[in-house]
Amino acid sequence: MSEENAHRENSGVLFPNSQRWIDGKQGRPDFGGEVTISGKRWRLAGWKKDLPDGREFISLSFSLPQPKPARIANAKPN
């Protein structure tokens, strides 16, 4: 499945997140991607979790995409 499937109705993509750690702490989801539902694009995040009996599952969260901040032409990177 390719990223273009995120743009098909009632379809999406979910990729492993290689940048989960921030300053040595897990700060980001295990998986991330996009889905399209009723013509609207959503961000999708997933976290690996364990039940007390040892079974594994993925907890999901949907959110609207956040606009990317505009870059100032003469701004210097941090």
In a domain, 69, yes or no: no
Task: Give pLDDT tens digits for 31-71.
Answer: 999 999 999 999 999 999 999 999 999 999 999 988 877 77
Indicate whether 75 belongs to any domain.
Answer: no
Domain that holds residue 37: 3-17+31-63
DSSP 14: E
Other C-beta atoms within 10 Å of 34: how many? 19
Residue 8 forms part of a structural domain:
yes
Give me the number of domains the chain comprises.
1
pLDDT for the residue 35: 92
Above 60 in pLDDT, residue 2?
Answer: no
DSSP 15-61: EE-S--EETTEE-S-SEEEEEEETTEEEEEEEEEEE-TTS-EEEEEE
Decide if 23 is inside a domain.
no
Give the CA count within 13 Å in the CB-facing half-sphere of 52.
0
